[in-house]
Structure 1
Amino acid sequence: MLERDSKVFVTGFPCIGKSEFVRAYIEKYGSQYKKIGYYFYNGSLRRVISNMNSEVPVSLSDANDDLYIGSLNTLRTLDESTLIVIDNFNIGVEDDECVDDIPKLKCRVIFTSRRRYEGVTTFRLNGISKNDGVELAKKFFDNPTPLDEFRLSGIVCMLGRNPLFIEIVGKMLKKGGCTTERLTFELLAGDYTKYDQKVTFTKDGKLMKESLIGVLINMFGFSELSELHRKVLCMMHVAVEAPIRKDAAIAMFGLNSVQPIDDLIDAGFVSETSNGMIQMSHFISEIVFSVLKHDKNTCRELIDRIRLIGNDESIQYDFGDIRNIIAEFAFFPIVKPASEAVEVAYDCFKFFWRMHDVDRMEELNQRTFALRGLSEPRQLAIQELEEAAIEAEKRNYVKALEIQKNALEKIMALDDEYLKAEAAGSYAYYLDLSDTADSTEELYEAYKRSIELFEGLDLDNGEKVEECRVITRYAHLLLMTCKTDEALA
């Protein structure tokens, strides 16, 4: 590649071995060059180039035009017998004012970067081979059994064949902080947060001591991401397995433009196919899951967005049956602790409830509580709310009312005013449909109770919809009992 184009960008995930790869190239082919310069990018090519001929390092403020131009003129006198390496150039080529001066040089230049680039010659590293990864882990892990070696093979693949991660895991195994069995289990669950045991290793010539989760957070630049980018990554982890069109992703994530997605593509978190589809690799997806800690509010927003997509015929084709996305998400909620996972599953349940998909409602209710073995009063109340809704969908209104009454008694003892208002509204509705009310006044009072509870709350858009649903049902009852003026009001 250097023979075809003297300027090459070596790219790949953080810690994949870009710097080591370039050093290996220098070790093998260094004799072909008269001069080799190796520099770490420090935020400014102007500073790097200004320091090339300076015996005393200069700061950015001291890197004046004369010093820079003098060093640049020296570089211009060099031919292909000189190799310049700029390591850790982790910004866009358009983000450094001096990048345009590099193509004019005759010498060879290699950049290493974790970013993705267009319009430049790029060599992307994809990690070491599985066999080499196992051998690397075995260097640090003494006397593995045949079963350990088999598990190591899977661990290497789940770590994205990333040599630094494999080295850290090998040293963890040597120190006795974990076993191959536990590592395999945690990685299959997609959770790196348990890997907090610190080990010593060398990165970019520096001796470091850090845990695997610490390296992931620091090396992938999660701290540099905006809240919007973090939210998009969380939503993408939840909802996108197969490649999808960008316009569909924009609708799903509630974005005003494609720019946040393009930012994540450039940063290496999201990959783009030749025909404009986007996808997140399984490896990155699991890191996102471990580091960003999805919360129930982000998940609730995503559920609402997916429901809106289901009503948009222009992009329905990209998703097929949107209920499949929600079902998968609901059965394996990615939020913790279990109490919040149940609430996310309940949001998914209501998604199916609005579609009157009673089969999915039943399946979700059974799996949510069977998978988690829950027993807290709030969780039991939510379970009964779902069971009552299922009976109502089957038109078993008397049974639905009985279950809802039990749930409401539990909920009134909880510190959750919105759940009280929602449960009271459903109770009034089942009472209305079951024809078991002693009088019309009892029905009026049941609806008014729910409306009064709602009126005391600061509601988001989805919660306002639930309040309007109760008000509308109450208005219908008033109309059917000849209270037309009150119904209109």
Structure 2
Amino acid sequence: MNQIDLLYELFEGFLEEESSQDFDFDNGLVCRWFNGQARISPRISGYYLHTDNRNRLADDIKTNILPLMCDSAMAIQEIYKILIQDGTISDQKKDQLTQDYPCHTSEEQAAFLASVLCFGMERTFVKRNAATKKLLAVGTLSPVISDFVYNGEVPKACAHFCGRDQELSTLHELISEKRIIFLQGIAGIGKSELAKAYAENYRKDYTNILYLIYSGNLRQDIIDLDFVDDLPEDTEEDRFRKHNRFLRSLKEDTLLIIDNFNTTAGKDAFFSVLLKYRCRILFTTRSRFDNYASFNLEEISDHDALLSLIRYFFSDAEKEHSILEQIIQAVHSHTLAVELSARLLETGILEPQELLARLQIEKSALGATDTIDIVKDGQSRKATYYDHIHTLFSLYRLSEEELDIMRGLIFTPVSGISGRLYANWMKLPDMNRINDLIEKGFVQTQSARQISLHPMIQEVAVDETRPSMNNSAVLLNSLQTICLFHGRDVTWHKPLFLTIENIIREIADDNTPAYLSFLEDVFPYMEKYHYTAGMELVIGKLSGLLTDETVGRSTDRALLLDYRAACEDKTEKAIKLEKEAIALIPEISEENAHLVSNLCSNLGGLYKEAGKRDLAQQSMEQGLRILEQYDLLYYHDSIAQTANYAVLLTEMGQPEIGLSALKKLSRMIRDLNSDQTLDYATVQETMGGICLITGEVKQATSHFKKALAIYEGVYNGERDMIETKKQEILQTYTQAGIALGQQLLNN
């Protein structure tokens, strides 16, 4: 069981609460909890402050955790020893915590563990010093990457993996001899499962095994690895430089698995660089890499192994032995088709003889030919096998709700997405329909409660469900709404953006106005996280749509120029684009006032960047005048404009005017909304920064404390974000030449 699944079992009571439906575990953050790098979510610890909830924790430990232990008494004994030897805990507290020790029953064991665990979550958090573990500077062995990389763990092979003993042995010989191997084969034949099983069977032969699912960009996949020394302020270039340098240090005792590398050698620019790594590398691919050492995976030839696969899913398999052998022949021993056939029979939708008849009709229509088509990117594709999967898909008679779920999953990342998060996006009341699709074999589960579509199922689902703007409206509306909350930070923004990118690449446009609105709303949220790859993709799509003069309005074209300016490296060129955007809207109205104000503010920011402060002030003031004229000062974007204007005035030697504007804004937010929102925190933090510059340290600290208190409440459960905000504020003290920021904030 991986650590996220363990937490699902441990905190089952918390997760079943209605108020926790939006809570999910982030793999990197969970790793930091386990490694002592971050405090556990206050939402979890706060839930278990109540006696009834602590009792539920004890019940969950008894039911879900103790049965996993081969010697629970030893676990209790070790935890007791840690507790007793801790000199920072009073004797009175120790007596209170150990009242159930020694434990004679499972109830007493669970009560003891729940009591100690809750105490540990409530204590003052002390971050473990990760710097005590050093990289191996010399020697023939690689450093142990689990000390440095939080993700990249190899998922377990499926429980029904079978019939590949000889292939495992051959693959090991090839990797040992050639170092880099391409495991090739058609879709659904079992390449990924063979790679996972290889990692499991030969784990002791390697110091490390690192696993990546290819997203279409090797360089980005390396950037997306989660390293212990990654900093919130790191750019993607910083992360790549650090990650690449570390991976280059790995030696032949490390195996790197790149799964689903379905491309060609020349299409990925980083491919040639990766091949220079000194570690062993195993690619799984549908493409042909004839110029490299490869191993072609064929269908399982042993029918007994395939019958055992059917028996795993179909409870009446023993009674239908001869018909099942004919079904295996009808689907040409294709592993995925055999599995789906067995799952279909278990549902009772068709009897074995009926299924065989349907498959034989299809086989006759196809002329029983195994046509191999060479498609783009050099991938081999047996058309017959895709027809088998299409037939099985249609025989399941999926409901409209199930088809909607499948249609949406087409766009999710190949590496998977949290099932709870996806259900939330799809407005599902529970996981029941998703679990039904898992049972049917269409949705596959991965580690950490992630779900995804098998790549071959994904291709078939595209043909069967034909996703478009209109029939995918539920998912698109959810994603668009999330992106409209510009002030809200989420830990799962990466799968969000990957899903949006896939939508842009794959969706059919049967509602262009809705598509324009979607693209225009997701861009600013990507910009918030500096997600340049997605921003450029949005700009490219918008440019294509707006090439048609009948599509969109002048405001859409102005937004496109504004977005281009945001991605432009040269400040003068960005200024030119921003001016062109403003010129496209000569008449200001209630409908476009907010946009024009934003454009003026953005132009002011560019002037400031170029050192033209007078022009910056004029543009920002023009934007604020428009906001005031149309009563828009209370919008989130407007708050950022006022804050930026105040900072500019401070830099120009007029801090009192800037502070006056911020105080007015602060009162307005408090009166109209609340003094516990991110907008209010932003204003307080900005005022704190200005006060530091003017030497009002005490007043600055007061503003910063108010901001931090709000961040604690709003980011409840997301310690990384709270810590990031605190470090940003401490950096403000340092930049102002004040060395006691931490002490001042703690007083």
TM-score by length of 1: 0.45
Report the TM-score when normalising by structure 2. 0.32
